[in-house]
């Protein structure tokens, strides 16, 4: 199914969760902020939040530096 990920069309498996998508993007262990359809998804809900066709996600991860 197709979703929008950071403004770009992106194909994901049916019944994909936010946690599964983060693993697919190799961001599973990183500190990220996830917005799904304009609502922040707390980390505690990543595994139980399923994606639906047409969902709009923004994923932002922190990059350290000095």
pLDDT tens-digit readout, 14-25: 999 999 999 999
Give CA–CA dist 40/12, Å, rounded. Answer: 20
Cβ neighbours around 36 below 10 Å, total: 19
Contacts of 16 (CB under 8 A, 6+ apart): 1, 24, 50, 51
Give CA–CA dist 58/23, Å, rounded. Answer: 15
Q: Domain holding 7: CATH number?
A: 3.10.20.30
pLDDT at 40 over 70: yes
> Does a structural domain hold residue 39?
yes
> What percent of the chain has a predicted confidence (pLDDT) above 70?
95
- Total domains, the chain: 1
Domain span including residue 8 = 2-61
Give CA–CA dist 30/23, Å, rounded. Answer: 10
> Does a structural domain hold residue 66?
no
pLDDT at 34 over 80: yes
Give CA–CA dist 13/18, Å, rounded. Answer: 11
């Amino acid at each position: 199914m197709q979703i929008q990920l950071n403004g770009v069309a992106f194909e994901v498996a049916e019944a994909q969760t936010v946690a599964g998508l983060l693993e697919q993007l190799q961001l599973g262990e990183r500190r990220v902020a996830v917005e799904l359809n304009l609502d922040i998804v707390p980390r505690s809900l990543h595994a139980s939040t399923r994606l639906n066709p047409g969902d709009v996600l923004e994923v932002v991860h922190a990059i350290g530096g000095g």
